[in-house]
Amino acid sequence: MLRLIRVSFQINIMEKRNVALMMLLPLFLTFLLGAALESLFDSENDNVMLGSTWLYYIEDSEDGDRLRDFLDEYGHQFNMDLTWEEDKDEALDVVAERLADAYLVYADGTITIYQNEHANQPTRWLKVVFDSYLMRVAIIDDILETTTDISLLQFIEETAMEVGEHVSLMQIDTVSRPDAIGYYAIAMITLTSCYSMVAVILGLHAEKRRATAKRYLIAGKSLFSFIISKALGMNLVFLTQLTVIMLFNTFIYRVYFGAPQTWLTVLAVTMVFAFTVTQFASMLCLIFRNFIALVVTVNTALLPVMLFFGGAYLGYHRLIDIGLGDIIVFSPVYHLNRGIFDAIYLDSTEYIMQFTLIVAIVAVFLIACNFILAKWRGNSWMQ
């Protein structure tokens, strides 16, 4: 079996024109899509929804109720889209990821505004507005409590000096986001892993046509070992291709992949996904006899749909923006892309590890199916 894997790898890697095409095409598409769709990736907000979204929390008090009424009445004049959020940590994460402009907190008579450096609203101007509002509240409250022994004008001036600034403007670190080239460098990697499915189908079709599989079976070997060896040989070719593409993206396109361990994580996770994809292709080859029709169906229907909803052509943030968020979750490519971007730009591997575990379980299931199908088909697979 190891010998067959090595032979399969050597046969595929020696086809220099195909290998060159497999490596150059993703790099060319990365540049082409990155240049053509650069306008969709805002340089300031980096592929995150544009808007004037503010998260806010106001303590339950008389002054808090006043402020809430003030925002309800005048917030739209400041072009503020307000969303209530009590969980401060959750709100700061949203702001850091640039999915909101700022987080406003009112407590103990003080407003604190947490903003990212790419906030769309002029938060410094709003700070002045809230300063004025709170100063007015403080002055009015004190006027109601004071005697009339001093003039109103003198009292207002003295109170204003005491009140000072009531609004704190806090800057928080934001999460990096890819530019157009950076996004499509990742998207083309996942796209290429999907098209290894087509390579396996065409490879098995060629082996049937050359009667290589027939000679292997006559020699007493199992159909299952033949199928899985061809798939593993193609996986080694893809590993070579993927390594070259990622090195080119890193050193020529200057694509950010995070720390070295993240670079290796992306490589490993993509290979697990590619292995599962090739096992799925092997299962299709064991079920269907007409390989040409199978390739056409996969090429023109299955893969384009799966890749489109996975964000390979249009950023998946944009797909969510146009209302396709409930559909894209059915594409495994979306989860792979999202997991990779989380690992690189959020320094979080939780999502990608969960996805990889699920993919590995699916791979084991597909291997078991291929074993059963190979036993069932036997020599009849050559007909």
Q: List, for residues 126-145, the tens digit of each pLDDT value.
A: 666 676 666 666 655 554 45
Listed residue (253, 256, 269, 268) closest to 346, CA to CA = 256
Same domain assignment for residues 15 and 164: no
pLDDT at 36: 85
Q: Count the Cβ atoms, other than its own, within 10 Å of residue 315.
A: 22
Same domain assignment for residues 233 and 373: yes
Listed residue (16, 8, 375, 10) closest to 210, CA to CA = 8
Q: How confident is the model at residue 44 (pLDDT cuts 50, 70, 90)?
A: very low
pLDDT at 186: 93
Residue 226 scores a pLDDT above 80:
yes
Same domain assignment for residues 215 and 359: yes
Query: Is residue 128 included in any domain, yes or no?
Result: yes
DSSP bridge pairs for 105: 57, 112
Crossing angle of helices 332-345 and 350-377, in 10° steps, is 150
Domain limit, last residue, from 171, 188, 210 = 171
Query: Is residue 47 included in any domain, yes or no?
Result: no
Q: List, for residues 305-346, the tens digit of each pLDDT value.
A: 999 999 998 888 788 778 888 899 999 999 999 999 989 987
Same domain assignment for residues 126 and 239: no
Query: Is residue 356 included in any domain, yes or no?
Result: yes
Query: Is residue 114 included in any domain, yes or no?
Result: yes
Same domain assignment for residues 34 and 90: no
Q: Do 193 and 62 touch, CB atoms closer than 8 A?
A: no
Same domain assignment for residues 183 and 156: no
* Domain with 227 in it: 2-42+178-382
Q: Do 171 and 117 touch, CB atoms closer than 8 A?
A: yes
Q: How confident is the model at residue 271 (pLDDT cuts 50, 70, 90)?
A: very high
Q: How confident is the model at residue 118 (pLDDT cuts 50, 70, 90)?
A: low
Listed residue (225, 237, 169) closest to 200, CA to CA = 237
- Find tokens 């923006």 and name the residue: 321
Q: List, for residues 235-253, the tens digit of each pLDDT value.
A: 998 898 899 999 999 999 9
Residue 349 scores a pLDDT above 80:
yes
- Measure CA 167 to chain center: 35
Same domain assignment for residues 9 and 136: no
pTM over 0.85: no
Q: How confident is the model at residue 50 (pLDDT cuts 50, 70, 90)?
A: very low
Residue 177 scores a pLDDT above 90:
no
Q: Count the Cβ atoms, other than its own, within 10 Å of residue 20.
A: 10
Same domain assignment for residues 253 and 124: no
Residue 31 scores a pLDDT above 70:
yes
Same domain assignment for residues 72 and 130: yes
Long-range contacts of 257-262 (CB under 8 A, 24+ apart): 257/344, 258/343, 258/344, 258/345, 258/347, 262/343, 262/344, 262/347
CATH number at residue 95: 3.40.1710
Q: Count the Cβ atoms, other than its own, within 10 Å of residue 355.
A: 20
Mean pLDDT in residue range 3-7: 74
- Find tokens 């890193």 and name the residue: 250
Query: Is residue 377 included in any domain, yes or no?
Result: yes
Q: List, for residues 74-107, the tens digit of each pLDDT value.
A: 777 666 778 888 898 888 888 877 677 788 888 8
Same domain assignment for residues 139 and 225: no
Count: domains in the chain: 2
pLDDT at 267: 94
Same domain assignment for residues 192 and 252: yes
The residue among 227 and 52 whose pLDDT is bigger is 227
Same domain assignment for residues 37 and 182: yes
Residues written for the chain: 383
pLDDT at 360: 96
